[in-house]
Homo-oligomer: A and B are copies of this chain.
């Protein structure tokens, strides 16, 4: 997957737009580079820009008054940032955004983006499909929080990684730090670490950042045996279609 395939005209949000329209987005959007750890914006900042991730991964997170940090989402290629702020009059960013690895974003003025959505029905429909899909994964995550134990949540996350990035389950590298993953899964780093050691018992070995899933079938039944989606889980389908 090369850089070109992530140019805005290839992102799903721009699917079906005419070349002229796509050119308009290419002209208005500013490409921004961020280093690992860079802050794109802070929770509470006045929302000025809408972003599309073209490379890397951006962590969206908040901090409670008591100092606990919560990772709401990790935005990867094709994901947007600022969608929650697009349609709110009083629009402050609802979370902070930090690059969790070197990343590239397309940046559009928020008001301009609103106008484009009004003027280009196709864009609006793409955005609808995108948000609707977000809702589904959000529901899935909620179910997992309610019903799965930490080793199962970690196991599902590893499967999602393989499905989303087309990693080879037999040998791949974690794209973010373990504490970032722990936070996104709603657990402490210690619990994450212990969950990993439990996963070793079913053939998932992790040394450093290198993961190897020896028996995907075993992991699948360990995780998905407790999930209501097992039948039509998108992650599972992608994994099986690649083998």
Q: How many copies does the complex hold?
A: 2
Bound-state Cα–Cα, A64 to B133, Å: 21
Interface centre among A73, A118, A131, A227 (most CB of B within 10 A): A131
Contacts of A125 in B (CB 8 A): 117-118, 124
Contact yes or no, A64 B228, CB < 8 A = yes
Stretch with Cβ within 8 A of B (4 or more), from A2-10, A140-148, A206-214: A140-148
Q: Is A191 an interface residue (CB 8 A)?
A: no
Contacts of A118 in B (CB 8 A): 121, 125
Contact yes or no, B84 A136, CB < 8 A = yes
Q: Which of B62, B64, B124 contacts A128 (CB 8 A)?
A: B124
Q: Is A199 an interface residue (CB 8 A)?
A: no
Bound-state Cα–Cα, A86 to B142, Å: 20
Contact yes or no, A72 B121, CB < 8 A = no
Known A64-B228, A143-B72, A147-B64; judge A84-B128 contact (CB<8 A). no
Q: What does the 1/0 interface line of A205-243 toward B look like (CB < 8 Å)?
A: 000000000000000000001111011100000000000
Q: What does the 1/0 interface line of A79-99 toward B look like (CB < 8 Å)?
A: 000011011101010110000
Contacts of A147 in B (CB 8 A): 64, 66, 68, 70
Q: Which 6 A-B pairs have the closest CB atoms?
A: A87-B129, A131-B131, A62-B228, A124-B124, A146-B186, A121-B121
If A64-B228, A65-B225, A70-B143 are given as contacts, then 8 extra A-B residue pairs at C-beta distance below 8 Å, sorted by A number, are: A64-B143, A64-B147, A66-B226, A84-B136, A94-B139, A128-B128, A142-B145, A146-B186
Give residues in A with beta carbon < 8 Å to B. Answer: 43-44, 62-66, 68, 70, 72-73, 83-84, 86-88, 90, 92, 94-95, 117-118, 121, 124-125, 127-129, 131-136, 138-139, 141-143, 145-147, 186, 225-228, 230-232
